[in-house]
Structure 1
Amino acid sequence: MVGLYKIRESQELIQALDEIINRNQRTQGEYHLTDGIEVMIRNGAKIRTFPVENWYDCGSKESLLETNAVLLKKVIPAHQYQFPNTIIIPPVSISEHCRISNSIIGPNVSIGDHTIVHYSIVKESIIGSYSEIRNAVLHHSVIGSDSSLHGLSQSLNLGDSTEIDFG
């Protein structure tokens, strides 16, 4: 479960947390922030809620890619990318200092800084910064930062600092 709190009375929160620690008040064996907030309420703090229009889940590969696609359509303005012998199919977000050539990128692709993509097709995917993709066909994939992938047609979830060479 995920929550979002904006607490202006930070000193009061610290005092409330100190109180639950001094009383050794634990919930499921741990000191919980919500217990500290309950102490604040008992001491007169006013708590308000507010509506959230959208909540974007990124807890699995599937939901991360779905969220990426929604945000690309919603937030990223159209941009004219120019890379040699490359077709860009919006929406995409390509960070600075990327070197892309002889490739097809998009739709729904995010690429991090300083990433190299050559002779590849990438769609519905996220590629981290400082990664290198060569001679690959990627769809519905998450490639972490500082990763290297050469020669593959696959759907992947590749973690940070990983290198795979199918060549």
Structure 2
Amino acid sequence: MKAIIPVAGAGAKLRPLTYTQPKALIPIAGKTILSFIVDQLHDAGIDEFIFIVGYLGEKIQEYVKQTYPDLTCHFVQQSERQGTGHAVELTRSLVGSEEVFVVLGDTICDYDVKEVIDSPYSMLGVKKVDDPRSFGVAEIDSEGFIEHVVEKPAIPKSNMALVGLYKIKETEFLYECLHHLFEADIRSYGEYNLTDALDCMMKRGARFKAFKVKNWFDCGKKETLLESNATLLKKFGGYVHESVHSENSIIIPPVSIGAGTILKNTIVGPHVSIGANSHVQYSIVRDSIIGSYTNLHEVVIDHSLIGSDASVKGLSRSLNIGDNTEIDFG
């Protein structure tokens, strides 16, 4: 089985942070979003990955090659973002007839990966949501088989949202349906969507079973990214690297603090992730994600995203700041 991970999106809802960094490489609870996905799949036995890259794709390639030198990795360029269906179709020559597990590049979920992989059926991950109109939606029968999927329905017939996890056994069938979308120019909201290809497969006889994820950590926008960071820190307990230098400072767990970071006269936590080699002085930081090589001086920050190589001085409350930024509130 091969894993397909589309990571070509621009992450517009997380700008300005994503102007210089792919969304998949944003740190959360001590790891990147991408590492959460790859580690989960690799631990379950998958060792061949296809990454669909586009915006800042060279950073994805560099990160994967450095972090996972022993994995078999392929990189496919999606020059024009025309939807998830278009992205997956680009992998056809690399997949052939082998089973695939497609995981969207901003999807961190809590589920039994091995159980899904070993299932004799194609499987789609679902989660009950209050308002399914912003998601792909699955209509499921009494035996757990999916009868129909539709992308962002105006009047949903189900509240079971597709979470971005797709294990597909009949891959030749999948690529036939993707080709059909292009031939017939079938689009949802202006894009060739994977959901439409899956529905095509179901209409032609393919059987998909739903599996419910225990947790779905939304990393698509600032508010939900910070919530996911807090939840994952609570779940895994956080980690403070042994090289962190703390002088007259208080750390309130759970937090994740990277190697070489210096804390001086500072309170950090709870629910804070700080990258490597950052300096935080005379500050209070809580419920935030801070990048690497960032300097914070005399600030009070909560519910904030601050990129790498940034500098913030003075007093602030809630920020969303990209990389290579300098702000002085003095």
**What TM bracket, shorter-length normalisation?**
0.7 to 0.9
The structure, 1 or 2, with the larger RCO (C-alpha pairs under 8 Å, 6+ apart) is: 2
* Aligned partner of residue 301 in structure 2, secondary structure: strand
Residues 62 and 26 of structure 1: CA distance in aligned 2, closer, same or farther (over 3 Å)? closer
1:5-154 to structure 2, matched below 5 A, reads: 5-77=166-238, 82-154=245-317
1:3 aligns with 2:166: no
Identity fraction in percent: 50
TM-score normalized by the length of structure 2: 0.45
Q: Which amino acid aligns with 1:99?
A: I
**Equivalent-residue separation in structure 2 for 1:47 and 1:129 (angstroms):** 42
Deviation at 1:118, TM superposition (A): 2.0
TM-score normalized by the length of structure 1: 0.83
Match of 2:84 in 1: none
* Aligned partner of residue 15 in structure 1, secondary structure: helix
Q: Deviations over 1:84-127 (max 9, x none)?
A: 22211111111222222221111111112222212222122211
Deviation at 1:28, TM superposition (A): 4.1
Q: Which amino acid aligns with 2:263?
A: I
Contact map agreement 2:286 2:303 (CA 8 A) in 1: yes
Deviation at 1:60, TM superposition (A): 4.2
* Aligned partner of residue 56 in structure 1, secondary structure: strand
| Larger displacement relative to structure 2 (49-58 or 86-95) | 49-58
Q: Which amino acid aligns with 2:309?
A: D
Q: Deviations over 1:51-75 (max 9, x none)?
A: 1111223444333323222221112
Contact map agreement 2:316 2:329 (CA 8 A) in 1: no
Match of 1:165 in 2: 328
Contact map agreement 2:272 2:287 (CA 8 A) in 1: yes
* Aligned partner of residue 114 in structure 1, secondary structure: coil
**Equivalent-residue separation in structure 2 for 1:37 and 1:140 (angstroms):** 38
Structure 2 runs not aligned, ≥5 long: 1-134, 136-161
Larger Rg computed on CA atoms: 1
Deviation at 1:166, TM superposition (A): 1.9
* Aligned partner of residue 263 in structure 2, secondary structure: strand
Q: Which amino acid aligns with 1:105?
A: V
